[in-house]
Amino acid sequence: MQGSILVKESFLQSDPATLEKFIRATYKGFLYIKQNRSGTIPILGRYLQVKEELAAKAYEQVVRPAMTQDGTLNEEMQKKAVENVLKRLDLKEAPPLSRIFDFSIARKVVTDLRTKGWKPGA
């Protein structure tokens, strides 16, 4: 999901239900931000400690354009993210993407909420 959710593999294995609840809540927030510009800008302004006018610019120019369709990264975006880390850490080889990224629970949540027709504020 957008903004990255990182968990230990042991937690993923031992408590997937809690992780799913967290991802569900996070995705609902993602949808709120994506679909509710007027409600998001005041929150963003308070968070960034800037006037709403500047928060609106940040939303339009930075936040909204960076959001993916469903909050997950496609394979190309995953590769770019890994390449960036490799360069910064001066590493030569990355593990397989499947070892770093696992969007299975996120995609399950997205499918479930879409099937149910969930909308922010509904």
What are the extents of the domains in the chain?
Answer: 9-116
In sequence order, the 6+-apart residues with CB closer than 8 A to the CB of 94 are: 82, 83, 85, 86, 100
Separation CA 4–CA 111 (nearest Å): 19
Q: Looking at the whole model, is its pTM more than 0.85?
A: no
- The pLDDT, as a whole number, for residue 4 is 85
Q: What is the mean pLDDT of residues 6-21?
A: 94
Query: Residue 122: which pLDDT band, with cuts at 50, 70 and 90?
Result: low
pLDDT in tens, 77-106: 999 999 999 999 998 888 899 999 999 999
Q: Which residue has the higher pLDDT, 22 or 1?
A: 22
pLDDT at 44: 95
**Residue 7 pLDDT > 50, yes or no?**
yes
- Closest by CA to 77, choosing from 105, 59, 103, is 103
Tally of CB atoms within 10 A around 65: 8
Q: pLDDT tens digits for 49-77?
A: 999 999 999 999 999 998 998 999 999 99
